[in-house]
Structure 1
């Protein structure tokens, strides 16, 4: 007898080896090295700018500045490996590079100067950094529970602001850098636009590996051309030593001051918002769902890296938005690429000569590459905002106000000086101000309110849920009859379910009453709905069809809708009912109606009921919004 045991089918789902997510893919060593170097080059200028600004402001010597830069790069590498590789509940395990947050520059300068400047001020800064890092690590789980306050309208706005606010940084580099800008210099402009053109050309002509290293090729070619023309000097390479490593507490033991610690904790809370936005942006780019535990892991990594930074003579760390754009542009999603970049940064931090080579890249060349990278971050924000319902005016206010304030501070950074010192922490960064504005406005418009308020029929006063439960049947039908067309029997049946515990129960009552109505009454209800694009008789239908542009149809479009309506009526005996606000445009509505012509009559009857329920949900939301935009948040679940 032949044994029933046999080799497993290699093609079966249970035995087949599951392909890892692109984020977890380990690339060949050569590609890891090249991609990692590309991240380092894109990141380098932003990484060293904070110690340069701080050293100049508090009066550190050139030798001390060199040590700060080396310590910064060394710690950046450690922090990036922690964030991308992760261990225990630390590190988000996404391709996110860590760098010193720009938000901390002004507060650290203020702390350092208040302590007398020089290394004395530096020690007070480090004491505040260490405590703030520990604080961030401990509150990360709590902060991550606030993820429900980051819907697409908030995350899309923050991501867009990050991209737009970084573009002036790229523009400043394109015209020569912050120390010697010269917008009239044609050579600077040629370097920047030439580098950008090389990146675009490579992306257009090549595929595969060459396209993914377009930024690196652009930087190398741009630097080579500038060197040939005599605009690059590598003299600093010869003057630098081969080996140098930072040691813990190099400048002395840290000092702890209460006011400095509070100020730095505020900075870390603000950067937590930016980190959350970067995590969501990267999740969108790499197509990986981000949850509250991911945010907690990222914030723990921020806190741990910040504490390590205080010990190793560096500063507060956060996810660097610059490299988020590079991930989007190259489409290389592996987190091990960022880990490789972290290794290179550690090496650069230990080899000053290597850092001097990277530092020799001309500002205009770096600016040209940065224009492409930073703009792609904004594009990710646009993609996220495409999921937002902008027919809801509250979302328009949230996005418009947040972006407007962020651009105000970005275009006119000195406006922060008109405010008290504590407020300058917020107004000193367009990203910070815009992010906080988006979060606060989302809370105000979608989550804050004393209770659900409902606007009844036009001309009637606003009512609240307890008043709804006290209505007579006639009053109830008058208040909510506009949810459906024609007969009000459905509304009357919903009344029979009083009292309602909350607005969700009220909404459920309307739905259940609709589907429990006898078929003959359902058909009568369907017959009362107007044709799409036809003559409208009530205000609600006008508003709904106006949102989809059906009240402004050209003759050809009107003929298409009339033909579809006639075919539908002939087949099913009722008007075509579509919740038009769930469709992006007229073409989508036509396609939906044409598809439904192929349904069986019983199937289409059910489909029409579902569309009526969707329309009623939208109208109920309108009632709540009209009554009180703040309390409207309490019925936000209706949209889901």
Structure 2
């Protein structure tokens, strides 16, 4: 180490020195494993409920057998781990190299269910519906990889007005799913279901209000634990180890059969992937500011390309489109530790969890009321985030923002209340018109463009 001194004492002081490499920033710092491991586990716990909720809800809405729902969950965890490793470690052209946890976006639920349950694709019992979904996911992933350099231009289609409308529609369209999970059964069974669900919901709300630190961030997971305890006390859970799958076994590619490709489902899924870009880029901007690694156009392209690769892999492995999880962005701010290697370790843990069909089957056996109580919290929060964004748009009756949001939400909720409302439209358009999220988002994009042009050109 060089020290300052006189030329007499340091005859080579005037010799040019090689530039010193800067010390690793927080985002690149590698901490001792004893410190990294608990932080990585915490990241997994924060996003775990959100990660498993999407395949769990899809399985329930499509009335899939428990074994198939378990495959969806296992494939999701496995691919989430790979997607997180791609995003955090990355290469020169792939991955943002930021501490971003990746998971399946809630935006996919309505689109996936709409395609998988459409009579145009679900002809028999050979999983044609889901295989059509996976074909659409693969096409959307390939499109995202090719379009990644154009991400900053595509984002112009999703100003805060459209994003707020989309998130509000997602929350509103998914809330009936949670309500139906809770309202299953009659008589005494209905009362038990309500008590279980409300124990989850009340615990999650209480911790969100009064909890601090990790307890606040783990409010939903702790609530699920309380709900499981209540369900067990009421006899709704009867654990048994007979006929359980092995502890470790990787899910094979195309677990439900070879994908089926159709144009309209693929276009619908491309729209959904474009919507997930909003969340990914938004999280990258926030985390980039936190870590001193700003979201430059090059970084955004690598970010979206990694999302595309993860989505493509999701279609192959039996999962769905991937995006960054905002819950973990909040955790970075709370802990103050922003090393991407901690999140990479969390990705490796997710990958390990995804190797266990035993764990996936156990998750698939969670009582519907427990999942419904957690869904009330998660979907309600999603809706309120959208409303919060819309609140910044100066909504006044009759102005452009008001018309865009109200018309789009009304169209989406019409489909939620009566899925076959547009049954008179051509068959090729049904996959789009049966998805409230896709229909609402396309309406918001189109109205925003048309009405804005009309304002500029009176």
* 2:380 equivalent to 1:375: yes
Q: CA deviation at 1:432?
A: 1.7
SS in 2 for 1:239: coil
Q: 1:139 to 1:337 in 2, by over 3 A?
A: same
Q: 1:181 to 1:351 in 2, by over 3 A?
A: farther
Q: CA deviation at 1:331?
A: 6.6
Please give the TM-score of this superposition, normalised by the length of structure 1.
0.56
* 2:455 equivalent to 1:629: yes
In the aligned structure 1, how far is the partner of 2:410 from the partner of 2:296?
A: 29
Q: 2:197 aligns with which of 186, 192, 197?
A: 192
Residue pair 1:82, 1:91 contacting (<8 A) in 2 also: yes
Q: 1:155 aligns with which of 160, 163, 186?
A: 163
Q: Deviations over 1:259-287 (max 9, x none)?
A: x3423431332112321343366468769
Q: 1:30 aligns with which of 30, 38, 53?
A: 38
Counterpart position of 1:265? 266
In the aligned structure 2, how far is the partner of 1:209 from the partner of 1:170?
A: 25
Larger radius of gyration: 1
Counterpart position of 2:176? 168
Q: How does 1:16-27 map to 2 (within 5 A)?
A: 20=26
SS in 2 for 1:235: coil
Counterpart position of 2:279? 278
Counterpart position of 1:318? 322
SS in 1 for 2:322: strand
Counterpart position of 1:90? 94
Q: 1:330 to 1:296 in 2, by over 3 A?
A: closer
Further displaced range: 147-156 or 87-96: 87-96
| Gap regions ≥5 residues in structure 1 | 6-13, 449-627, 633-640
In the aligned structure 2, how far is the partner of 1:207 from the partner of 1:396?
A: 37
Counterpart position of 2:357? 352
SS in 2 for 1:97: strand
SS in 2 for 1:403: helix
Q: 1:78 aligns with which of 76, 82, 90?
A: 82
Counterpart position of 1:202? 207
Counterpart position of 2:248? 243
Q: Deviations over 1:48-107 (max 9, x none)?
A: 444676685xxxx87666555533442343234434554444345434423593313433
Q: 1:339 to 1:44 in 2, by over 3 A?
A: farther
Q: 1:172 to 1:104 in 2, by over 3 A?
A: same
Q: 2:5 aligns with which of 3, 6, 23?
A: 3
Counterpart position of 1:444? 450
SS in 2 for 1:443: helix
In the aligned structure 1, how far is the partner of 2:39 from the partner of 2:171?
A: 27
SS in 2 for 1:372: helix
In the aligned structure 2, how far is the partner of 1:221 from the partner of 1:190?
A: 11
Residue pair 1:54, 1:109 contacting (<8 A) in 2 also: yes
Counterpart position of 1:435? 441
In the aligned structure 1, how far is the partner of 2:186 from the partner of 2:105?
A: 24
In the aligned structure 2, how far is the partner of 1:43 from the partner of 1:409?
A: 26
Residue pair 1:129, 1:307 contacting (<8 A) in 2 also: yes
Residue pair 2:395, 2:402 contacting (<8 A) in 1 also: yes
In the aligned structure 2, how far is the partner of 1:114 from the partner of 1:206?
A: 46
Q: CA deviation at 1:398?
A: 1.5
In the aligned structure 2, how far is the partner of 1:204 from the partner of 1:377?
A: 17
Q: CA deviation at 1:408?
A: 2.4
Q: CA deviation at 1:156?
A: 2.5
Residue pair 2:200, 2:370 contacting (<8 A) in 1 also: yes
Q: 1:41 to 1:344 in 2, by over 3 A?
A: farther
Q: CA deviation at 1:138?
A: 0.9
Q: CA deviation at 1:376?
A: 2.7
Q: 1:171 to 1:88 in 2, by over 3 A?
A: farther
Q: CA deviation at 1:231?
A: 1.5
Q: CA RMSD in A?
A: 4.3
Counterpart position of 1:409? 415
In the aligned structure 1, how far is the partner of 2:154 from the partner of 2:43?
A: 34
Q: Deviations over 1:344-376 (max 9, x none)?
A: 443333222222333343322233233233333
Q: CA deviation at 1:184?
A: 8.4
Residue pair 1:271, 1:432 contacting (<8 A) in 2 also: yes
In the aligned structure 2, how far is the partner of 1:47 from the partner of 1:114?
A: 18
* 2:393 equivalent to 1:388: yes
| Gap regions ≥5 residues in structure 2 | 8-19
In the aligned structure 1, how far is the partner of 2:382 from the partner of 2:315?
A: 30
Q: How does 1:100-179 map to 2 (within 5 A)?
A: 101-102=108-109, 103-108=111-116, 113=121, 118=126, 129-176=137-184
The number of equivalent residue pairs is: 428
Q: 1:99 to 1:112 in 2, by over 3 A?
A: farther
Please give the TM-score of this superposition, normalised by the length of structure 2.
0.75
In the aligned structure 2, how far is the partner of 1:16 from the partner of 1:330?
A: 23
